Each structure stands twice: as structure tokens, then as C-alpha cells.
Structure 1
Amino acid sequence: MDLIHDKFVRFVKTEQLLPADHIVVLAVSGGVDSVVLAELCYVTGTRFVIAHMNFALRAAESKRDQEFVESLAAKLGVACHVKEVDTAAYASERHLSIQEAARELRYAWFEELRSSLAQVTPARIATAHHLDDSVETMLMNMFRGTGITGLRGILPRQQHLVRPMLCLTKDEIVAYANSHKLQWVTDSSNQLDKYTRNYFRNQLIPMIRTVFPHADQNLYSNLHRFQDAVMLYRESVERRLKKLVEFRGGEVHVPIRKLRMQPAWETILFELLQQYGFVSKQLSQVVNLLDSETGKQVVSDSHRAIKNRQWLIIASLVQEDAAYVPVEEIDTVVEYHGGRLVIANLENAFTFTDGKPGLSGGAQLSIALIESKQLRFPLLLRKAKPGDYFYPLGMRKKKKIARFLIDLKLSKTAKESVWVLESDKKIVWVVGYRIDDRFRISENTKNITQITYTAVNSTRR
């Protein structure tokens, strides 16, 4: 079985998974896979600690697993970290499946351990996923509709997480364990077909073998080819997206006409949408959205895709709570979520033509010139809300801010990002767009309050 040892060593070296200067948090359940990984790390001189999470799902069996892992760590002479969690309660509170809850709990804890160790020495997390696990993942992804990228299966490394046994099949792992007379425990839940992976492992793949006896080897070979194909595919998609997508104020803006000129444009759109929580069945909805009226949207768990004239905009669903920022008379700089205001008091040094101040270079939307005596402090800086109205500069009639923004042809998300400055319940300035005519300066103005607005990021479109 030295061939398996050598295969492991070559894979770890090629993929640079277990550097000599790192310590590894080794996830050990007590099953044959993690026991073999612990043995291989031990005999290759890898520095590691063992981490075992007791999910409290199998009563006495869970306790047995914990005790076995603790004895294994003692035998190998390495530290053993154990944590017991109420997985069922966690799943219920967050409306997750047991498998999803267990995954969240263990990886969050593994990262806590890794981060703690990393304060002293570089550290990584290692799990005992093997080649058969990767094939199962590939097949599950195919049926889930995750697209080309899902056909890669499990990756050897993702940031601080490594899988050093992806080069080995389940049969090779069991053979190594038997030849080295290793002991392990068996998780009875692995036989329950109610879990998707177990169903693939225990039912679907064995049925495929009855029709295609060499299915395993073909799947192993295809997995490697798919990984290479995905690499080339991703390079092409990313290159096209880089030329296509514009990032504006935390939003993604895509010109619809330019998108449709791309070869395989729906596939490019699918890959973009996946990055923002959209699933495969929503692709057709977004494609239809491109021909809909402005303001229509499709929503994922975290983002929304919005049609805005000739643009598709992808924006986060997370909106900050309604903010109210008081502005005192002594304030000279006001920082807030939407940007920054710089306030200065000036004497009227402007010349007027036809009753309007003559500003060199023309009026700037980012600067408000306000007659100081009209202001009543403290001012209030807040988000625009339904029903707000003001008298736009140059007009004697009031206008709802919502209609004013529609006339400016702003996108839905740009409208939602508009702030107003208020004095004594009157809108002084729709920040960055227009001041209220009641606060304008004139030839009789003696003192001027100048407010300069700097946006955090521009989202106008």
C-alpha cells in the first residue's frame, strides 16, 4: 500500500496543500476516511491538531464517536479539540435541514480554531473528502442545475480549506486502512437514503454500475476533464464580463443591447446572476425581464435584478434602516451613509444677471448655495420618503420629489438612495440634485450657507 502513500504525497506536493510551515486543523469524525487522513498526515510529518464536533444526533453513537476520536488523538500524540452542539435546535431556529445546519456549525467552528492557531503560526483546515465524494458532488450539481462550474466537483483548495485525499478513491482508502490495521467507527446515518448524498451513493450510482460496469473509472476521468474545461470556460466568461459589466455604487450595471450582442449571451448572463444568489430556474425570468417595462424586477435571496430603460441593474436587497442625521449650526462636516457634506458660511460675493447668481462654469449639482437667514437649526438629513415635496429652484409651484426623480429618469435603486436636507419641516435640498426655490440666494442676500456634497459612490443612471 506504499503506492497509496506515495500518491497522497505527490498530490499534496503538486497542489501545495500542506506546507511545512503550517499547522493543520484536521476534521476527524472517526470514520475510515478521516482516520486514514490522520494516519497519512502523521506518517508524513505534517503538524496537525484534531477537531471533532459532536452533533448530538445519534445519542450513544455520537458519544462513542467522540471517545474514539479522543483516544485516536492520544495515540497519535496530538491535541484534540471537541465541541458538542445541539444541531437539531440550530436547524429548527434557522429553518435549515439537518445536513445544512451541521455543515454551518462545523465549518464555523473549524475556522474559529484555525484563526486562533493562525495568531501564532500559519494554519489551514483539512477535511477527508476523497475522489468518490467529488464525483457524487459533480452528479448532484448536474441535477441541481448549477451550470458548468458545478461539474468541477470538490476543489482541492478553497482559501484556508484543503482536501488532501481527493486523489484517492474510497476503495483505496479502505484498502490502506485494512493493510495498516487501522480502526475506525461507522456512522449509521450514512445508510439513511433520506439524505441526498447518501441516496446518490447507496442507490443511484450502484444502479448506474449495473448498466455501465466501468462507470466509476469513467466518472473519475471525466471529472478531471471537466475541471480543465471549467478553467477554460471561466477564463472566457470572466473576460467577457469584464468588458460588459459596470460597477456603480455597489451595484452591477449591464447594458442590455451590448449583452445581447455577445455570443452565448444567456450563458454569460447565467454566470453573472449566479454570483448574486440567482438560481438556474430564474434565468428565463431575467431574460424576459430584459423586454419588460422599466422598474420590473426579479428577486433572489440576496439581490434583485431590475430593468431600467436600456440597462439591467443588480442590487443588494439589504437596505440600511431609515437614517436621520441632525445637522447643528456649528457643524462643518457631516458624514453619513450616502456621502459627505462640507458646510461653509460665506458673504454674498456673487454677481447677478436677471435675478440669478453668476457662477463661473455654470451651476454645480453637488453644491447648494442657500440663504443663511432662511435656515432653522438643527437641520435634518434623511432619506427621501413618499409624500415629500419641495419647490424646485426656478419654480413657484411645489412638486413631489418622487415625480421630480421620475422626470430625471433615475433608476429604481438610484431613487431609493436619494437624501434630503430639511429645515423646520421644509425640504431645503434634494441632495446632489436641486435646492428648494424658497431657500435660494438673491441680490439682497448678505450671508450664504454653502454645502458641498461628495458621494460615497455614484449610483446615478
Structure 2
Amino acid sequence: MTLIEKVSKYAAEHSMLEGVKTLLVGVSGGAGSVCLLHCLLELSKSQGFTVKALHFNHKLRGAESDRDEAFTQELCNKLGVELFTGSADVRAWSVKHKTGIEEAARKLRYDFFEETADKISADNTCRLATAHNAEDNIETILLNLCRGAGLNGLTGIPPVRGIFIRPLLTVSRGEIEAYLTEKGLSHITDSTNSDTVYTRNRLRHEVVPVLKGINPRLTDTIANTVRLLTADNDYLFGEAEKLLQFKDSSYIFDINILRNRPYSLSSRSLLLAAERLGVSLSSVHVEDIFDLINGTQASGMLNLPQGTHAVKTYDSLIISRQEPVIKTFKEKTLIYNGITSLEDAPYDIFLGDVVFYNKCIGQAGKIYTSFNTFFFKKDKIYGKIKVRPRTAGDIIELKGRGGHKTLKKLFIDLKIPRQVRELIPVIADEKGVLAVFGIGADLRALAEDRENTLVLEIIERKNDA
């Protein structure tokens, strides 16, 4: 089987070129990328897609970086391929953002790749090929193993990730070099590739040769292992996907289900949710989320990478890019013998005499809960009656509840989500809380009969968004 046939077969197995009209190829000028560009140009003749090239100058090696760009431009001119170039001062960016050079280079390069792909094709007919090969995959697996990895990390570089495809992932460096010799293609060598100060280079030059001495067929052996592990991993992710619920730009989980499902499924469901929000979580992040949901606090929030948040609210976990907005409403003095409407919350509130209430209630609408109508002794009221959100230090004494309790503690006991608490109407006079919608009235002013009594009804506007 020729290299082109091998690449074509592997691409077909993973649907890499299905529906593709434009194929962008990342070209550094190195052996792998030159081989990939030429190979895909050959395949384009029979499969009908257009090949374009991308080159990113990291500005890390001075004149040598500029040489790489010039070589790539000359190669593309020779092959008749349109080239898009980009550049950035990677070292300065890494200092500013406090990241390693390798991490900064990868981020800036891939940002350029994705931005160019978006400009070229607005539909889903564009893919971007990178030249990762079989040895690159071995190095990645060993790196992950050294750093600590689960099954996901031990499957190595994914053949397909979003718009990115890796057609050479089963091709060895030896096969690449043989192809270049056969086709008479030249390439350049990055001088830093031999510098073992970089961990990947150290694995490449010092560790992998030892492993190949033990098993000369190491590349094929690991490729087969990856195939088996990937099949298992794909199955687990398929099962984990069943735990996902997407609503209002967020992923919502039932915490009890997350706790009771096998960790291999629960953890993958969290990884999937984050991935679909454009975020990659590490095993540490996943453990932090489990610490959040298994903690004793009824609610809490965890900051995740790239502005993503995990929010626990009693039995629910929400993963979202949007930080929860705590809505509230403005305090209002209630109209006597009339209806006060809240603009920032879906409530109308009647306050007045019982006789007037009996006449007016037909306009107010249906009563929706048994804890929305309250009767107060007029002589127990101090000053004006207002409706407001809860405030720090609010206390209430409810009938049959055994003494005073802060609203904060009461809301926690009743498992009312934090973002809901600020929208619950609290009725108060100048002395303190008189009643809380949906919960009850304070004993201080509570009337036992309707003589010399005020009536207050809170009506929820059900048609409000």
C-alpha cells in the first residue's frame, strides 16, 4: 500500500474529507507538513476539494523563522497553492499571559488557523489538516502518561477534532522521508528539534529509541493499542452524552444522577459539556467540580477556564459560560386600598381594608398559592408598609416554627436557589418583616380575625416572562 493509499484509507475511516470543499493545510516547511501538502494535493485530484496552505511565523528563531516562511511561500508557488500567512511575538505573549513558550506558540498558531478558516468558509465545508504523524502520537501518549492521564489521554491525538483533521496519524517519520525522496521534495529542519531541553524532544531522541530497541514494531503496536482504547473511550463518551441536558446556553445536571452513575460516565459528561462550550477541562478541574457537588454547602460556584463556571444549587449543577445573574427588584411603598405593581418582578400587591379587598379582588385575579394572602392587625403596624427584596439581618417568627429565624437560614432550609431568593417579595414595615411571599407571616402583627384588620395579597403574574 502506498503512502497516499494509506492516508486515503485512514481519512475515509474517520470521515475526514466527507463534504469538504476547501482543505486548509498547516505548513511549517518541515518534512511532515511538506509530505501532507503534496499528498493531499494528489488526493484532491480525485476527490474534488481545493487545497490552500497556512503558515504561522512564531518569531522565536529570528532569521531562521523568516527562512521557514520564505521556504513555505516558494514551495506553495511551485505547487500552485494559495498561501495564507500570520505571525506573532510568541515570547512577548507568553510573558504577558504567564504561560510557557510551547503553550503560547500552540495557542497563537491555532487561533490564526481557526480565524483564517472562518474567513475562508462560513459554512461547514472547510477542514484544516495538520501533519501530526505516528511518532508524534507516541510522544503525546508518553507525555500524557508522565503527567498523569486517564483513558482519554492514553488514546493520544484525536484523528478529528472539530475542523481539524490529522491524515498522517498512522504514518511513520520513515515513511514520510521515503515519500519526500521518491517525489523529489525538499524540506527544512527546525534547529530546536534537536534541543532536549524541550520535554517532547527529549522523549523523541532519548526515550522512544530505547522503546523501539525493545520492540522494533513499536509504532504499529501503539497504533493498535490506541485503536482498542479509542473504541472503549468512544463507547463511554456515547453513554456519558445521555446525561447531558442543554438549556438556555448551559448544561444542567441532576447532582444525584452524577453521584450515582459510575465515575467514568459522570466525569466524561462534564468533559463533554465543557468541550461543547469550547473549553478543555483537566482532571484537576473535574475533581474540583466533584468536590463542589459533594460538599456540604447547598450552593456554590467554581470558576473554570475561559470564563466558564460550574454552579451548584441544591440538587442541580449548571455548567455555563455565563456567570449567574442575580436579579432583584426595587423597594416600593404599597398603595393603600389599591394595587401596587412591581416592574422588576412579576407581582401585583393589594393592600387595604377587608371590605375594599372583597370588591377589588375580582380585578386582581386568581390566587395561585396558599401563602400569598395575609391579614395584619392595624395597631401592630409601624409606619408605612413596603415591599422589598430580603436584606441582611432580616428575621421572621413563623407560627409553629419555634422562634425567630433569619431569612437567609430559612431560604437555605427550604432549598430556595440563590438566584431566586432576591426576587421573593418581602413585606415589611419600619419595625421589620411582616410576611414573605410563599412562606408566611410574622407573628408580631398577624391577625386572628378580621376585626380592625388590613389585608395584603400578593398575586403572581403568570404570563410574565
Fold conserved (TM > 0.5)?
A: yes
Q: What is the CA-CA distance between 1:65 and the residue it aligns to? A: 0.8
Gaps in structure 2 of 5+ consecutive residues: 275-279, 334-338, 360-364
Q: Secondary structure at the match of 1:49?
A: strand
Preserved contact between residue 432 and residue 453 of structure 1 (Cα < 8 Å): no
Q: Judging changes above 3 Å, is the alpha-carbon distance between structure 1 residues 294 and 318 closer, same or farther for their aligned structure 2 residues?
A: same
Q: Secondary structure at the match of 2:253?
A: strand
Residue type of the partner of 1:419?
E
Preserved contact between residue 37 and residue 165 of structure 1 (Cα < 8 Å): yes
Q: What is the CA-CA distance between 1:283 and the residue it aligns to? A: 7.8
Q: Secondary structure at the match of 2:2?
A: helix
Q: What is the CA-CA distance between 1:213 and the residue it aligns to? A: 2.9
**Cα separation, 2, equivalents of 1:218 and 1:15:** 20
**Cα separation, 1, equivalents of 2:4 and 2:41:** 12
**Cα separation, 1, equivalents of 2:441 and 2:292:** 37
Q: What is the CA-CA distance between 1:270 and the residue it aligns to? A: 4.3
Residue type of the partner of 1:119?
A
- State whether structure 2 residue 107 is matched by structure 1 residue 104: yes
**Cα separation, 2, equivalents of 1:225 and 1:89:** 42
Name which one, 1 or 2, has greater alpha-carbon Rg.
2
**Cα separation, 2, equivalents of 1:10 and 1:170:** 18
Q: Judging changes above 3 Å, is the alpha-carbon distance between structure 1 residues 18 and 316 closer, same or farther for their aligned structure 2 residues?
A: closer
Deviations along 1:119-170, one digit per CA (max 9) or x if unpaired, are 3783222211122222322232333333112222222222222122223222
Aligned to 2:37: 38
Aligned to 1:405: 411
Which of 445, 450, 459 is residue 459 of structure 2 equivalent to? Answer: 450
Q: What is the CA-CA distance between 1:104 and the residue it aligns to? A: 1.5
Count of residue pairs the alignment pairs up: 427
Aligned to 2:137: 134
- State whether structure 2 residue 246 is matched by structure 1 residue 253: no
- State whether structure 2 residue 12 is matched by structure 1 residue 13: yes
Residue type of the partner of 1:5?
I
Q: Judging changes above 3 Å, is the alpha-carbon distance between structure 1 residues 415 and 70 closer, same or farther for their aligned structure 2 residues?
A: same
Residue type of the partner of 2:99?
L
Preserved contact between residue 375 and residue 454 of structure 2 (Cα < 8 Å): no
**Cα separation, 1, equivalents of 2:375 and 2:26:** 64
**Cα separation, 1, equivalents of 2:21 and 2:433:** 60
Residue type of the partner of 1:66?
E
Q: What is the CA-CA distance between 1:100 and the residue it aligns to? A: 1.3
Q: Secondary structure at the match of 1:96?
A: coil
For residues 11-410 of structure 1, the aligned pairs below 5 Å read 11-19=10-18, 21-45=20-44, 46-119=49-122, 122-238=125-241, 241=243, 251-255=252-256, 259=259, 265-272=262-269, 274=271, 279-280=282-283, 293=296, 301=304, 319-320=323-324, 326=330, 341-344=345-348, 362-363=369-370, 387-391=392-396, 399-409=405-415
Deviations along 1:435-455, one digit per CA (max 9) or x if unpaired, are 775999996658866344799
**Cα separation, 1, equivalents of 2:313 and 2:234:** 31
**Cα separation, 2, equivalents of 1:281 and 1:236:** 22
Preserved contact between residue 25 and residue 113 of structure 1 (Cα < 8 Å): no
**Cα separation, 1, equivalents of 2:82 and 2:410:** 66
Q: Secondary structure at the match of 1:56?
A: coil
Question: TM-score, with normalisation over the residues of structure 1?
Answer: 0.73
Preserved contact between residue 26 and residue 48 of structure 1 (Cα < 8 Å): yes
**Cα separation, 1, equivalents of 2:81 and 2:224:** 37
Preserved contact between residue 418 and residue 430 of structure 1 (Cα < 8 Å): no
Q: Judging changes above 3 Å, is the alpha-carbon distance between structure 1 residues 230 and 13 closer, same or farther for their aligned structure 2 residues?
A: same
**Cα separation, 2, equivalents of 1:284 and 1:21:** 39
Deviations along 1:306-363, one digit per CA (max 9) or x if unpaired, are 796xx6957669745766655889997857xxxxx334466988669xxxxx986752
Q: Judging changes above 3 Å, is the alpha-carbon distance between structure 1 residues 436 and 152 closer, same or farther for their aligned structure 2 residues?
A: same
Gaps in structure 1 of 5+ consecutive residues: 336-340, 353-357, 457-461
Preserved contact between residue 130 and residue 169 of structure 1 (Cα < 8 Å): yes
**Cα separation, 2, equivalents of 1:447 and 1:312:** 34
**Cα separation, 2, equivalents of 1:361 and 1:424:** 22
**Cα separation, 2, equivalents of 1:425 and 1:86:** 63
Q: What is the CA-CA distance between 1:177 and the residue it aligns to? A: 0.9
Q: What is the CA-CA distance between 1:425 and the residue it aligns to? A: 10
**Aligned-residue RMSD, C-alpha:** 4.9
Q: Judging changes above 3 Å, is the alpha-carbon distance between structure 1 residues 393 and 289 closer, same or farther for their aligned structure 2 residues?
A: closer
Aligned to 2:336: none
**Cα separation, 1, equivalents of 2:435 and 2:9:** 64
**Cα separation, 2, equivalents of 1:38 and 1:137:** 23
Residue type of the partner of 1:100?
E
Preserved contact between residue 290 and residue 307 of structure 1 (Cα < 8 Å): no
